[in-house]
Chains A and B, each alone.
Chain A
């Protein structure tokens, strides 16, 4: 079905439309939870009700007796490696001796109906010896506290020591900052369909994930199968935001399918989803900034403590992102930083959009405002005075080689008109408290705040997160093959745009996204436009060379005198020799390309080293209205200018910017998983508040286009920056409106009015 008749070509730079949008608006797009197979069973998971307990015994016999139950599995039934994990393999497939967080998987069931599963889980008897949970991250740093895991309580410590360790600025400001635990809250909960091979020799898994190949490696090890016997196919993904980087139900669904020799579908409820994936790390950050009296930043001191929860996941990488970004997008020569990622009996934390930088940014931007106030200059000027430029160094000593238009982002944001003031005509729904009619309009106070951030792109510390793509041209049609997870970000839109631009052909098809080709790396770290975009671009260019060579040979021309321009192959004078469609008629060309980013290094014990791949920058200005009596906030407008390198698809880009801002707004004023003594108190959408249509601010976005010399398409990743500095901008605006020294997000009503 054609979406729209158009005369222009959907090449790079145009707002090409999503190829999957038609089935999505019709309800026909197959998400993982929509998959179904003949003779299929449902899988379900019994989880720990305790934050920390020793398992005394597990009695599954009552579950086996329930009509319709086909399989009940415990840790004894895991045929291969008993643990998995992204960086450290420290998380049990099923708990054996201890449960270390509320919601840890203990027993699996497969049955004919979800209700049968529920009854089977209720019938299983697990006897626990409940232990006192370790929930204070500061205690996890103390090596005298008994470890809750064989790997110890300290996941990683990293210091950064640079320059003069005794330097004291003319102006010194200090602050403590705290961030609560945010959930990714993708709409499509974890879901998978596992199809066993006959005889149990292998398995095919349709799953919503961010990284097919990483999943495959971990699954194969736990199943004790060779990797080639585990085939992963991307099931439709209902959002990700970091929460699908870790294993959740992948191994479980395969275990049940292999044991029963029947297809098994698993789908988490919303409550289970809150327990089934990692969250954003809560953090405690102390910072002291030293500056000259005219506001030049000289030295930053910081202590960062991140609560990794019961299992390590990506905590060590999240910590490195946090400690290496504490200076923000500002010049700074001297630094003293101490960072800890620790294990507790709280829910496990790992990747979420912004990945450690969200935490650092909330603190450093609070500090910049304190510095501005202490120096008597404006929040804008303090940021302009210190704005980083290409060639400046991080406190790790790494030079910024990428384009770094920080000052331009700030200036362009400042030029965006302010929203009109609230008047008597303002709709009640647009003022704090909304339809509750709680606000007295005359008492509403308006505030303005700023946030600016730097974000690393791609993976760090020597990791070669390459991406692979194959381009095949046959009879004027292009097909692209890659394992890049489409989670909603729009790579399925971008990849054909690249192919059309390079090859001059308009019909582009995307083959099944699966493990039938090399890895694409993870859809995370704002990396797929750069990495998989680079791989698709590389494969298409190789094919273009072959097409041109074939035309040259056929016509007796020097191939170096020909190139593809528009939809034609042209000679040096720009004259069309023939169209690409005719040049590829009855012919087939196919090439595979692996894209690697420039190598990175490790950090030494002083936190020195070129550990990051590339950087992007963004500025946010928030305008809020606050009801100081009830502590309610309405975010009125977010103005932003983002360093994007080059705009490849304006519509997709705006979607990333507006969506990221909404998530940053959520962290600023409403979103938090409340954990008390290791127990999650609000694992539902009734109690975990998400921004709705009525909470959405007006977003006015501008893009700073300075093509990055290292980016294969000139474009930087755009996914994470929108959600990073918007949070401190909103909090700064609330501080501006109320005069309250807010140190914690999310800002709760009682933080403002009590």
Chain B
């Protein structure tokens, strides 16, 4: 390949990953999926409209399709693969399953990251705060009802657990 290539290091899920000889135009989404073996983030619009590729960059939810991977070398990147511990599920993941918030599941990883991020910043969001926080994550299957229910279940469990 005669593309303009470069090697660099990314910090993903608390681990350092070498990206070798990669075209500098690659998005973070592409590098995570195609080079680092983390296909959890999904590509569905390439324009930051659908949220399927949501990851955390220094604690902020971003669309990884809009982030140039080679420009994210200084960032702490967290993906859906870091949620739960790979064996047990997080309360948000568990709530998504039990509430029927998963159908085709393509939007699900992005939503899991978005909801975890929401609850980190706002542990007891109102209904409209939930809707606003998730309005950047498009789901075509569920109509969102079971997703809202899953968030309520997760919030209730966290609240119950902390009392």
Residues of chain A touching chain B, judged by Cβ–Cβ distance below 8 Å, are: 1, 3-4, 15, 17-18, 20-22, 24-31, 33-34, 36, 66-68, 112-116, 184-189, 236-241, 269-271, 427, 429-430, 435, 487-490, 651-652, 654-655, 658-663, 684-686, 690-694, 696, 699
B45-80 vs A, CB cutoff 8 Å, 1 = contact: the mask equals 111011010000000000000000000000000011
Q: How far apart are A491's CB and chain B's nearest CB, in angstroms?
A: 12
Assess the B132–A694 pair: CB atoms within 8 A. Answer: yes
What range describes how many residues of B lie at the interface? Answer: 35 or more
B42: chain A residues within 8 A (beta carbon)? 31, 33, 187-188, 238
A658: chain B residues within 8 A (beta carbon)? 142-146
Assess the B102–A270 pair: CB atoms within 8 A. Answer: no
Q: How far apart are A439's CB and chain B's nearest CB, in angstroms?
A: 15
Q: How far apart are A32's CB and chain B's nearest CB, in angstroms?
A: 10
**Interface residue? B119 (CB, 8 A):** no
Q: A115-B25, A685-B50 are in contact. Are A188 and B145 (CB under 8 A)?
A: no
Assess the A4–B23 pair: CB atoms within 8 A. Answer: no
**Interface residue? B107 (CB, 8 A):** yes
Assess the A690–B1 pair: CB atoms within 8 A. Answer: no
**Interface residue? B7 (CB, 8 A):** no
Q: How far apart are B24's CB and chain A's nearest CB, in angstroms?
A: 10
The chain B residue sitting closest to A490, CB to CB, is: B103
Task: Give the complex CA separation of A68 and B3 in angstroms.
Answer: 9
User: B49's contact among A238, A651, A685, by CB below 8 Å, is which?
Assistant: A685
User: A684's contact among B38, B47, B99, B107, by CB below 8 Å, is which?
Assistant: B47
The 4 closest A-B pairs by CB, nearest first: A27-B40, A488-B104, A24-B105, A238-B106
Task: Give the complex CA separation of A29 and B42 in angstroms.
Answer: 11
A interface majority secondary structure: loop
The chain A residue sitting closest to B22, CB to CB, is: A113
Residues of chain B touching chain A, judged by Cβ–Cβ distance below 8 Å, are: 1-3, 23, 25-26, 30, 33-34, 38-47, 49-50, 52, 79-81, 83-84, 86-89, 93-94, 96-100, 102-109, 112, 126, 128, 130-132, 134-148
Task: Give the complex CA separation of A479 and B42 in angstroms.
Answer: 31
Task: Give the complex CA separation of A26 and B94 in angstroms.
Answer: 10
The chain A residue sitting closest to B1, CB to CB, is: A68
Task: Give the complex CA separation of A61 and B9 in angstroms.
Answer: 38
Assess the A4–B98 pair: CB atoms within 8 A. Answer: yes
Q: How far apart are A311's CB and chain B's nearest CB, in angstroms?
A: 24
Task: Give the complex CA separation of A654 and B49 in angstroms.
Answer: 26
Assess the A25–B103 pair: CB atoms within 8 A. Answer: no
The chain B residue sitting closest to A186, CB to CB, is: B140
User: B104's contact among A186, A690, A694, by CB below 8 Å, is which?
Assistant: A186
User: B139's contact among A1, A66, A187, A429, by CB below 8 Å, is which?
Assistant: A187
A29: chain B residues within 8 A (beta carbon)? 105
Task: Give the complex CA separation of A1 and B94 in angstroms.
Answer: 12
Q: How far apart are A182's CB and chain B's nearest CB, in angstroms?
A: 12
Task: Give the complex CA separation of A307 and B161 in angstroms.
Answer: 57
The chain A residue sitting closest to B81, CB to CB, is: A27
The chain A residue sitting closest to B52, CB to CB, is: A187
The chain B residue sitting closest to A692, CB to CB, is: B135
A651: chain B residues within 8 A (beta carbon)? 99-100, 146
Q: A113-B1, A238-B105, A699-B145 are in contact. Are A27 and B138 (CB under 8 A)?
A: no
Task: Give the complex CA separation of A699 and B146 in angstroms.
Answer: 11
Task: Give the complex CA separation of A20 and B39 in angstroms.
Answer: 16
Assess the B87–A659 pair: CB atoms within 8 A. Answer: no
The chain A residue sitting closest to B37, CB to CB, is: A36
Assess the A655–B142 pair: CB atoms within 8 A. Answer: yes
Task: Give the complex CA separation of A655 and B88 in angstroms.
Answer: 25
Q: A33-B42, A34-B39, A67-B1 are in contact. Are A696 and B144 (CB under 8 A)?
A: yes
Assess the B140–A24 pair: CB atoms within 8 A. Answer: no
Assess the B109–A113 pair: CB atoms within 8 A. Answer: no
Task: Give the complex CA separation of A188 and B44 in angstroms.
Answer: 6
Q: A429-B128, A699-B145 are in contact. Are A27 and B103 (CB under 8 A)?
A: no
B145: chain A residues within 8 A (beta carbon)? 654-655, 658, 696, 699
The chain A residue sitting closest to B5, CB to CB, is: A113
Assess the B49–A489 pair: CB atoms within 8 A. Answer: no
